[in-house]
Amino acid sequence: MRKRNLLRAILIMATVSFLSVIMFLVNTYYNAIYGMTGFSALWNTTDSINYYIRKNKKWPNSFESLSEAYSIHTHPFKSEDLLFFQNNVDINFHVDLSNKPESDVWYVRLKNGGLPQEEKNANDRIRSTIINLRLGKK
């Protein structure tokens, strides 16, 4: 009887351990895919904005105005891609390039807010492009 209870306890512990490991792996995989999707959307948008303001010397006024720039940074570009970016990224369309960029102004951010350091880096890159544009650099 005691041996049977011991075997039953070991089997239960092994099953719980196995299920815990499987849940951990699935959760890790999901978070990695989810994080990379956000990362991709954020940086493709950042690169597209940089391209747009270098080419047009003005800030984009809508996602549609960025479609040409998106097509350069996402290969092959499909119309669903624009919807993907709209669903995942917020763009501050109220930016005046004639004003000096301030460090507290955000230009682009993820809607889920999942990658704050990457958002900061993306905004710093856009800020740097605006400063270079104001200084006449390419």
pLDDT in tens, 51-67: 999 898 889 988 888 87
Length of the chain: 138
Structural domain spans, the chain: 41-134
Separation of alpha carbons 48 and 37, rounded Å: 16
Peptide bond into 76 cis (omega under 30): yes
The three-state DSSP-derived secondary structure of 26-55 is HHHHHHHHHHHHHHHHHHHHHHHHHHHHHH
pLDDT tens-digit map of 46-104: 988 999 998 988 899 888 888 777 777 666 666 677 788 888 899 998 888 888 888 88
Band (pLDDT 50/70/90 cuts) for residue 39 is confident
**What tokens appear for 13 in the block?**
């512990």
How crowded is residue 79: how many other Cβ atoms within 10 Å of its Cβ?
7
Following DSSP, what letter does each residue of 56-92 receive, concatenated? Answer: HSS---STGGGHHHHHHHSSS--HHHHHHHHHHEEE-
79/24: higher pLDDT: 24
For residue 112, how far is the Cα from the chain centroid? 9
